Amino acid sequence: MSERVIRYSVLMPVYNEAKTLRAVISQVRTMHHLQLDVMSITAEIPYESVQLEQEIVAVDDGSNDESWQILQEAESQGLLRAVAHKQNGGKGAAIRTAMEHATGEIFLIQDADTEYDPRDYPALLKPIVEDRSKVVYGSRFLGGPRKAMLFRNMLGNKFLTLLTNLLYDSILTDMETCYKVFRREVLEGVPLHARRFELEPEITAKILKQGYRIYEVPISYTGREYEEGKNITWRDGFPAVWALIKYRFVD
Nearest in space to 234 (alpha carbons), one of 150, 174, 156: 156
CATH code assigned at 83: 3.90.550.10
Residue 247 counted as domain residue: no
Residue 167 counted as domain residue: no
Task: Provide the whole-model pTM.
Answer: 0.90
Residue 49 bridge partners (DSSP): 3, 37
Question: How much is the average pLDDT of 10-37?
Answer: 94
- In the three-class reduction of DSSP (H, G, I as helix; E, B as strand; rest coil), residue 132 is classed as coil
Residue 127 counted as domain residue: yes
44-94 pLDDT, tens digit each: 656 678 999 999 999 999 999 999 999 999 999 988 999 999 999 988 889
Residue 74 counted as domain residue: yes
Nearest in space to 186 (alpha carbons), one of 219, 215, 220, 160: 215
Domain extent for 143 = 2-148+177-195+213-225
Residue 218 counted as domain residue: yes
Residue 249 counted as domain residue: no
pLDDT interval class at 42 (50, 70, 90): low
Per the rule left: phi > 0, alpha: psi between -120 and 50, beta: everything else, 159 is alpha
- In the three-class reduction of DSSP (H, G, I as helix; E, B as strand; rest coil), residue 8 is classed as strand
Domain count, the chain: 1
Residue 221 bridge partners (DSSP): 146
Judged against a pLDDT cut of 80, whether residue 13 lies above it is answered with: yes
Judged against a pLDDT cut of 60, whether residue 158 lies above it is answered with: yes
Query: What was the pLDDT predicted at 64?
Result: 95
Question: How much is the average pLDDT of 4-24?
Answer: 95
Residue 13 counted as domain residue: yes
Lowest-pLDDT choice from 42-46, 145-149, 191-195, 234-238: 42-46
pLDDT above 90: percentage of residues in the chain:
67
Residue 140 counted as domain residue: yes
DSSP 150: P
Residue 4 bridge partners (DSSP): 50
The larger pLDDT score, comparing residue 202 to residue 41, is at: 202
99-134 pLDDT, tens digit each: 999 999 999 999 999 999 999 999 999 999 999 999
| Straight-line distance from the first to the last Cα atom of the chain, in angstroms, rounded to the nearest whole number | 43
